[in-house]
Amino acid sequence: MTMQRKLDPVTLEVLRNALPAIAADMAIDLQRTSYNMMIYEVQDFCCALVDVEGRLICQNVGGVSHFVADLGVIIKDAVARYGRDGFAPGDALVTNHQRVAGQHLNNVCVFTPLFHEGALRAFAIVRAHWVDVGGMSTGFSAPGLVTDPWIEGLQLDQIKIHEAGVPDEKVLRIIRDNIRFPENAMGDLRSQLAACALAERRLSELFTRYGRGLVFDAIERMFDEVETRCRRVVRDMPDGVYAAESFMDSDGPDKSDTIPIKAVVTIAGDDMTIDLTGCSPQRKSGLNGRTLAGAYIAYKGLTGPLDMVNEGSFRALKVVIQEGNFMMARYPAPMAGWSRALPTVVDTILKALAPALPAKVPAAHLGNLGGTMTFFGRDPAKQRDFILQTIEGGGWGGRPDEDGVSTCVSVCQGDVRNAPIETIELKSPVIVNRRALRENSGGAGKFRGGLGIETKMTNYLEGRWSLNNTGRRLCPPWGVAGGAAGAASLNTMSKPGETDMKPFDPVRLVCAPGTSVMVATAGGGGWGDPLDRDPASVLEDVLEELVTRDGARDLYGVVVDMDRRAVDAAATAALRAAKRGA
């Protein structure tokens, strides 16, 4: 059964699907057994297999995109620390340390070594968002308030929590005692371990059935084939140097008006280089990270968005970024808001390439990680702690041939989604008053930007609200080819007894029962001149309450007769002619 066989096309195709299926099975195991809503509902996690050299073999379809760049970095660091001979069957390690993981501390990695025939062959790894790791980490960390990692929460640096199958109860007790929701955390930890154990069994079955050498031959072939496909796409792009700039809103402690982001993309044959050295130096606030994820996601989206992701997906890409850049910050720079810049980085890279790829590049999307809502506290009647977390999506940019999609999370987040209303109201003391498309939020264009979402909730017990929906209000999602910008994000709040919602960004704010909060996420930018949009499409938007009647007239030059539920063709032609003349 273990004799060396030749890799034939049929076996290659079987293994091409079998390996990602292992990661998919890990994800199902994790979701079905996890304790916190961020995993089983929002799906803020990824599952992967990584070889001993730190090369990504596969990641689950829909796994969080901005995790993909750093899983191999963690494995390389663990092997450097313990040595290849420093692992044993039954070992399990945990890490979230920003020295190497480069993310906010809630993103906890659990991984196990995979042995076959007595030798270390690979690692199974799960990175998932824990609801709390102590400090100010509850829900989503507050980048403007976190000034160092110790304030943010508990730091775990490549710690063996199981050795040869034996749990280290002292370490587990330390973790448990430093977390506000230990039942959730320990449950999620067990779920991550179960997912890794499943991967060990599945990979061992493949080795036994096909032979270890054949499986690794197939992996190398897959790397090569994905790299070749990526190079073929880049080869079709015009050679040249392309640059673009954008910015994010100030993060507070640095006292600057804006945070610059600059991308320079060089195409030379089938090679692409993405230079991010013009971006901001590392910040005093938590808007730092240590990751290549922004460049990786943009490259993957351009070259092979539907291909499986593995090490070959990025072989032909060179990323230039210096130490001390706010996306390659030196520890102990605070990293509570590590991912906030990534959607804008991706948009800026695409913006740079818009002149080279006018028929492919969309307008900008929501530009942050969506409207995150956290409410936590203690129910005195039940004598239990509660925590609510959800991520509300926004609009994506209009495209050269169709409108942008509405209410999706960012390009960096895989299949992350918002928590269902039923689960929110079941698990936490709040009422969801409204969750609806945000009218007129999509940027006007020949192809309209996608719409943001408005989500309003009212709490009926005292607790703490945090709304994280900022970062790009001064730089809303831009349009392309004459399209207008999408609406910027907005948070509002009203105190008990008040009727008007006022702009406010609460962070860990104690709120009395009857407090209402709402996040309104950004819309995507428009693509093309709004006056070129098909009047029938504008009419449909008005009837579907995506665009107001006034918006149709002012933004698109389309006059809608609501009595007849039809376009007034003559008035529309006259209005558009006047607007073009003006």
pLDDT in tens, 177-235: 999 999 999 999 999 999 999 999 999 999 999 999 999 999 999 999 999 999 999 99
**Residue 255's pLDDT band (cuts 50, 70, 90):** low
> Is the bond preceding 429 in cis, omega lying within 30 degrees of 0?
no
How far apart, in whole angstroms, are the C-alpha atoms of residue 500 and residue 492?
9
Residue 68 pLDDT level (bands cut at 50, 70, 90): confident
Q: What is the DSSP string of 28-74?
A: HHHHHH--SHHHHTS--EEEEEEETTS-EEEE-TT--GGGTTTHHHH
58: its two tokens: 């596969």
pLDDT digits (tens, 9 = 90+) for 407-425: 999 999 999 999 999 999 9
Residue 69: predicted pLDDT: 87
User: By the 8 A CB rule, do 405 and 34 touch?
Assistant: no
Burial class (CB in 10 A: 0-12, 13-18, 19+), 190: middle
Query: What whole-number distance in Å separates Cα of residue 553 and Cα of residue 575?
Result: 8
**What are the backbone dihedrals phi and psi of residue 510, each rounded to the nearest 5 degrees, phi first?**
-70, 125
Going by their DSSP bridges, the two strands 317-320 and 271-275 should be labelled as parallel
Length of the chain: 582
Sheet holding 371-379, edge to edge: 384-392, 371-379, 463-468, 509-511
Give the DSSP per-residue string, 267-281.
EETTEEEEE-TTSPB
Q: Are the beta carbons of 102 and 291 closer than 8 angstroms?
A: yes
Tell me: the pLDDT tens digits for 289-323?
A: 999 999 999 999 999 998 889 999 999 999 999 99
Q: Is the pLDDT of residue 364 over 60?
A: yes
pLDDT(4) > 80 = no
Q: Which of these, 258, 245, 288, 270, lies nearest to 102 by C-alpha position?
A: 288
C-alpha span between 223 and 55 (Å, rounded) = 10
**β partners of residue 437:** 453
**What is the DSSP secondary-structure string of 208-247?**
HHH-HHHHHHHHHHHHHHHHHHHHHHHHTSPPEEEEEEEE
CA distance 20 to 9: 18
DSSP-derived letter for residue 193 is H
- Per-residue model confidence as pLDDT tens digits over 465-490: 999 988 889 999 999 999 999 999 99
What Rg, from alpha-carbon coordinates, does the chain have? 25
Instruction: Provide the 3-class DSSP secondary structure of residue 30.
Output: helix
Spatial separation of the C-alpha atoms in residues 550 and 530, rounded to whole Å: 14
Q: Mean pLDDT for the chain?
A: 95
Reported as a single tens digit per residue, the pLDDT across 507-526 is 999 999 999 999 999 999 99
> How many angstroms separate the Cα of 13 from the Cα of each of 10, 29, 402, 555?
5, 25, 34, 51
Write out the two tokens for 508: 């860990």
Number of alpha carbons in the 13 Å side-chain half-sphere of residue 10 = 2
User: Which residue is it, tokens 């492919």?
Assistant: 360
What is the spatial distance between Cα 524 and Cα 250, in angstroms, rounded to a whole number? Answer: 21
Residue 492 to residue 498: CA distance in whole angstroms: 12
| pLDDT at position 252 | 73
| Angle at 196 (CA atoms; ends 191, 201), nearest 5 degrees | 125
Q: How big is the CA angle at 370 (ends 42 and 364), to the nearest 5 degrees? A: 130
Mean pLDDT over 344-369 rounds to: 95
pLDDT of 2 reads: 44
- What lies within 8 Å, CB to CB, of 437 at 6+ separation is 406, 407, 451, 452, 453, 454, 545, 546
A 10 A CB-CB count for 249 gives 19
